[in-house]
Structures are given as C-alpha cells and as structure tokens.
Structure 1
Amino acid sequence: MGMRAAIVVGATGLTGASLVEQLCENDEYVSVTVIARKKPVFTHPKLEIKIRDFDRLEEQDIEFAHELYCCLGTTIKKAGSREMFEKVDFEYPLAIASLAKKRGIPHFLVITSMGAKESSPFYYNRVKGKLEQDLIELGLQRLSIIRPSLLVGQRHEFRLGEKAGEKVLKLAQPLLIGPLKAARAIEASQVAKAMIIIALYEKQQPVTIYKSPHLAKLDYPEIIVKEDVSRETLFNWDKHKLSDTVVDKEVHFQHDDQEQK
C-alpha cells in the first residue's frame, strides 16, 4: 500500500467526481482531500472535505500533497457571463496553482480543452490557452496539462449543447480517423483514470501536454504475478538428485614429513 496524498478541486463535476472515487479506491493513496464550494455526494474513509469560498482561498487551506488535481470548469451559460466564466476557468485554477507552488506540492494536473490556444478564434479556447500559458510561466515543479475532447458520461445536470454534441459525435465516431481521431468523444471516467496513471507512472517532466487520443489509450501497467512454487515441486528430490554416473578421481594426501612445494 502506498503513502500518497492528493487534493482535488472541481470534484463535483463529471470528471472530478469520477477522479475522487478512483483515487479513494487506489491503494497508492491514503488521503484524498476535496476543496469545494458545496459538499460532494460521494463519501469514503480516505476522503476529507473542505468547503471553501474560492474567492477567499488562502495558503493554509491547501496542505501538502503529492498531487493537486484541478478539474474546475463551467460554461458561459451556467456561469452567467464571460466575467464569471473566466473566474472559474482561468482565475481560480491559476490562483490555486500559485498556492500549490508555495506549499511545495510537486505536481499540478489541470484539465483544459482539446482546442486550447491563445490565438484561437473561439473565445472558450482562447481562455483555456491563456490559462495553459500562464501556468507554464508560473514555473511549477511539474505541470501536466490534460486536453480531452468532448467529455461523455452521466452528469447530475443537463447540458443541452453537450448532449447534442455527444449524439452527433457518436454517430460520426466511425468516420473520425487519421487526424480527425483527436475529436472523438472520451469518457470522463477514462480521463480521470488517465490522470492518476500520469501521476503514478508517466515520465516526470516540467511540462507535459496530454491530448485526447493519448488519454484514451492510457491504462495501468500489467502486474506480473510470480507463480507460487508448490511444496511438491520444491521437495521433488528425484528432480534435483545427482547423476547416476560418478567419476572417481584418485586423491593423494600429503604427509607432514613430505617436502612442501
């Protein structure tokens, strides 16, 4: 059993909720702390919940952990305005990353978007691209940027746009090959699983960007179980006995009165 501790922000969303459950079920982790504005439904003996106002989040609210997983994200419609959208998707993740750096947390993992780019013609992708760039400039010890395509799974809330997009992508899935393969929808539970695998097993580099096709393929390494040697095999003396043919060699013993050579 491992001795790792993790912090998750954005634990009530589709990916964040799955991530918290998988972390709690993973033997490498003994402690999982969720920092949220409302209490998650999921409970577990390993799990500690901290209800906080992200506008007033302070350094002492974030204790040391091996990883801080940031799954914060919303939509402009849900946020109510571009200003509030940027607060949730840009300002909060950047502020939390800065606090994590001060607390000495060695690994910050953040979910952005498949099309994240500061120069993108799409506002959503521009915000995500700016977040990525500012996180890189922050100089974190290790930064893993997670860029999934459309996330699918069972949400507690209904998002009409995402549901429509999910149906379209499911119909078009067989046609998305080659360069278009990156646009295939991905299960949120697989993204959560991939994030844990990245934290535990992927090569440690200052900055790594993980795109959706790679996230979809990540899986835990195969554990090779050594075959137990049975008692019968261990004590099978016939198998280990010496050959029946023994060659005798003449042995001469030297007496004390013989000259030493």
Structure 2
Amino acid sequence: MNKTALLIGATGLIGSRCLNYLLSDDSYSSIKIITRRSLNNRNEKLIEYVADFEQLEKQREAFVCDDLFCCLGTTLKKAGSRTNFIKVDFEYPYRSAELALMSGAKQFLLVSSLGANKNSKTFYLKIKGEVEEAVSKLNFASVIIFQPSLLLGKREEVRTGERIGEILGKIFSPILLGGLKKYKPIEADTVAKVMVLCANSNYKGINVIQSDEISMKAGM
C-alpha cells in the first residue's frame, strides 16, 4: 500500500505514540503532521507543517491525505477557559475533518473519551459527544471513534487529578470485570497502536470502539 496519513495532535500522549507507529508502518509512504512547533524529527517519511491552528485553511496541501488521525485534546485547566477548550476539542478537530474530506480523505480516526455524550451534564463529556456527532455526519467512507478510559503514560506536564486516578485505577482494575472492564485505565500506547491497526482494517461507516474493545484488539 502507498497511503498518506495526516496526524493532528502529534505531540500529545496518544499522538506522539501514534506518530511512531505510523512512521514504522509500511502501509504509509508519507506521514504529514500539523503542529505548533517543530518536532525536529528527521524521518524521511515525515512531512511537517508548523502552523497556527486558527488558520488551518492556509495549510491546504497538508490536508491532501488518505487517512486523518486526530489526537487533539486538552483539559479545562490547561485550556484556561471553556472557550479555549471548545477550540481544541471541537473546532480544530471538526475543521480539520472538513478540510481533509474536501481534499479527498476517505477515513477519519478520532480520539474521544469513554462516556462522551452530547447530552451529558459534564462539560468535558458533552463537548466530546458533540464533536463525535458532528464528524459522524461528514461524508467519510469510514469514521472510527476511539473512546479510551483513563489514559496511562508519561506526560510532559503533571496532571495531579489524573495521577491520583491512575493509582486508584491500578488498585481497582482487578475487580473491574464484565461490563465494568471498559473502565479500566488503558495505556496511551495501546490506543495509538490500535488506531493504526484499525486504519488498515477496511472499516466502513461509523464505528465507535470503547476502551475494553481497544484492549482486546491489542491482544491484551
């Protein structure tokens, strides 16, 4: 195969790992990324676009791809306001999807969150649900939405709440059985690995893959 992938969010917990899997996957001859700062990665397959996410329309060439991977995401604390959170978790992913679709992309893969629901009273989950619904209405041949539980992995910044959640999650994971399996914490690397696996698995239509199924697909 000789596909081109575009990755948005290549510096994040899942995105950085997704980039590594994409670069080592023979299905892709070139990997494009749109980022606010250069990664200084000299891999010959990598094409980097340093850009302002407020002006994505200026990066038309970047959006010419087969598969769009979106790993963008933030927290209310890091975003600083609900307005900024909506930009990162809704506006940028949705606009990227629109531009890629107009440029001929056939498949969109989105990292969302377990519990995402447009009717949720929790702001974070509400916005995740809204972006899921919005991108699902776009005319991609395939939309694959990943809903991981609490993510495990080393971050650049310390998130105290998530760190506490990691510890508690590891303690209670052994008793999360049956329908509760999807609530077990999951390694970011596992999510990234399965994203690339699914991109090459001929999915059609709208597909939602929850955390326990992500683990299962990874052979865990």
Counterpart position of 1:140: 140
Give the CA RMSD over aligned residues: 1.4
Counterpart Cα distance in 2 of 1:40 and 1:74? 19
Counterpart position of 1:45: 44
Alignment of 1:4-15 (within 5 A): 4-15=3-14
Counterpart position of 1:254: none
Partner AA of 2:215 in structure 1: A
Counterpart Cα distance in 1 of 2:218 and 2:153? 19
Alignment of 1:232-251 (within 5 A): none
Counterpart position of 2:78: 78
Larger RCO, structure (CA 8 Å, separation 6 or more): 2
Query: After TM superposition, where is structure 1 displaced by more than 3 Å over at least 4 residues in a row?
Result: none
Answer whether contact 1:21 1:42 (CA < 8 A) is retained.
no
| Equivalent position SS for 1:27 | coil
Q: Structure 1: 5+ residue runs without aligned partners?
A: 221-261
| Equivalent position SS for 1:108 | strand
When normalised by structure 1's length, the TM-score is 0.80
| Equivalent position SS for 1:214 | helix
Counterpart position of 2:35: 36
Answer whether contact 1:8 1:35 (CA < 8 A) is retained.
yes
Please list the CA deviations of residues 39-65 of structure 1 after superposition, one character each: whole Å capped at 9, or x if unmatched: 225442211110011111116143422
Counterpart position of 1:104: 104
Please list the CA deviations of residues 157-208 of structure 1 after superposition, one character each: whole Å capped at 9, or x if unmatched: 211111111111001111111111110011111100100110112x421111
**Aligned residue pair count:** 218
Counterpart Cα distance in 2 of 1:63 and 1:76? 28
| Equivalent position SS for 1:57 | helix
| Equivalent position SS for 1:12 | coil
**1:142 Cα deviation after fit:** 1.5
Q: Give the helix-richer structure, 1 or 2.
A: 2
| Equivalent position SS for 2:200 | helix
Answer whether contact 1:33 1:49 (CA < 8 A) is retained.
yes
Counterpart Cα distance in 2 of 1:28 and 1:141? 18
Counterpart Cα distance in 1 of 2:76 and 2:171? 26
Counterpart Cα distance in 2 of 1:169 and 1:44? 36
Partner AA of 1:171 in structure 2: I
| Equivalent position SS for 2:84 | helix
1:210 paired to 2:171: no
Q: 1:168 to 1:144 in 2, by over 3 A?
A: same
Answer whether contact 2:70 2:111 (CA < 8 A) is retained.
yes
Counterpart Cα distance in 2 of 1:57 and 1:64? 13
Counterpart Cα distance in 1 of 2:7 and 2:38? 13
Counterpart Cα distance in 1 of 2:156 and 2:130? 29
Partner AA of 1:170 in structure 2: K
Please list the CA deviations of residues 95-147 of structure 1 after superposition, one character each: whole Å capped at 9, or x if unmatched: 11110110010001011110100111211100000111111122322211111
Counterpart Cα distance in 2 of 1:200 and 1:68? 12
Counterpart position of 1:169: 169
Structure having the higher Rg? 1
Counterpart position of 1:94: 94
Counterpart Cα distance in 2 of 1:63 and 1:135? 16
When normalised by structure 2's length, the TM-score is 0.95
Partner AA of 1:126 in structure 2: K
Q: 1:150 to 1:41 in 2, by over 3 A?
A: farther
Q: 1:149 to 1:41 in 2, by over 3 A?
A: farther
| Equivalent position SS for 2:116 | coil
Partner AA of 1:22 in structure 2: Y
Answer whether contact 2:68 2:109 (CA < 8 A) is retained.
yes
Counterpart Cα distance in 1 of 2:162 and 2:12? 14
Q: Structure 2: 5+ residue runs without aligned partners?
A: none
